[in-house]
Amino acid sequence: MEPTFTVSGRIAKPVHEVYEAVADPAILSRYFTTGGAQGRMETGATVTWDFHDFPGQFPVHVVTAQQDKRIEFRWGAAEGAAKEGETETTVVFTFTSLEDGRTLVEIVEKGFSDSDAGWNAALNQCGGWTAMLCAMRVWLEHGINLREGFYV
């Protein structure tokens, strides 16, 4: 069975503001990409994300971006972690406006191999995306950068 996971959380902000916190590199750089992000998440774009705790730019290939609804991208997997013949996994963010004004964010990552490397990568990514959601919520709701100094 191929490892796939979903993480989700609710953020007390309107869907447009939450979507922009992922799509807009200036906002993403304030709470997640500690080394900066270059390029807006738009269909067909390749953007880069950089992290001080994982040095080097990561290319992110945007498959589709639907304003305030969904962002799907592919990015490099650790060696041996992707399905056979693949070098990337697929990440899908969905944004759902809730009746109470909050936004439900769901993140799915798939495309890992059914191997020790694939399962380890999926577990690490699951934790990473959970931390990203927490950092996004704290940034958007309270203006606090949760990642700053956390990993290094």
Q: Structural domain tally of the chain?
A: 1
Task: Provide block-wise average pLDDT over 10 residues at a time, the chain (152 residues).
Answer: 93 98 97 93 97 83 98 92 91 98 98 94 94 97 89 72
Query: Domain of 118?
Result: 5-142
- For residue 64, being part of any structural domain is answered with yes
Q: What is the CATH number of the domain that holds 137?
A: 3.30.530.20
What is the rounded distance in angstroms from the CA atom of residue 65 to the CA atom of residue 44?
9
The verdict on residue 151 lying in a domain is no
| pLDDT in the model for residue 13 | 98
Taking the CA atoms of residue 6, residue 61, residue 41 and residue 137 in that order, the dihedral angle to the nearest 10 degrees is: 30
Q: What is the largest CA-CA distance in the chain?
A: 44
Name the pTM for this structure.
Answer: 0.94
Taking the C-alpha atoms of 46, 50, 55 and 60 in order, what is their torsion angle to the nearest 10 degrees? -30
Q: What pLDDT score does 66 carry? A: 98
9 in a structural domain:
yes
Question: What pLDDT score does 67 carry?
Answer: 98
The reported pLDDT for the residue numbered 39 is 97
Q: 39 lies in a domain?
A: yes
Q: Does residue 29 form part of some domain?
A: yes
